[in-house]
Structure 1
Amino acid sequence: MDTDTMKVRCCLGAVMKERGLTNKQVVDMTGISRNTITSLAANATNQINYDTLTRLCIGLDLKPGDILQLTSEE
């Protein structure tokens, strides 16, 4: 595996779309700030805090693998 061509990607936006959830609804369900939800949903961040991941998993009844994927950048 070549780590230079692999990237962890946040799929929160896809999960929200599948479930018909708005940013505000996810904010209300998780207690995470709107700015953080917006960034994660757009996959526009390079990191995620464990507390944020925990809140998403509990609030949306997910496992980490449901919103984080290892993908090829090719």
Structure 2
Amino acid sequence: MEGLDYAFKLISKKRYTSKELQEKLEQKGIDPEPIINRLKELNYLNDLEYAIDYKNKKQNEGYGKYKILFHLKN
């Protein structure tokens, strides 16, 4: 699948949301839908886990719940 290697390279360096990864793939001219679906099947891409990890990290840094929600919505 074209672009899957590129996607693995990206997610090996940092966690991405589906939207972030979609934007990166589109910038390279790659159709993101099949790649994102495959990564979700393999559980390499999970927006819920990303949000939970992000919330926990930011709470430990002293962020309030409304600021965290604001960042996650964006």
Give TM class, smaller chain. Answer: 0.3 to 0.5
Tell me the TM-score normalized by structure 2.
0.35
Tell me the TM-score normalized by structure 1.
0.35
Tell me: higher relative CO, structure 1 or 2? Use CA pairs within 8 A at least 6 residues apart: 1
Which structure is higher in helix share? 2
Which structure is higher in strand share? 1
Say which one has the larger Rg: 2
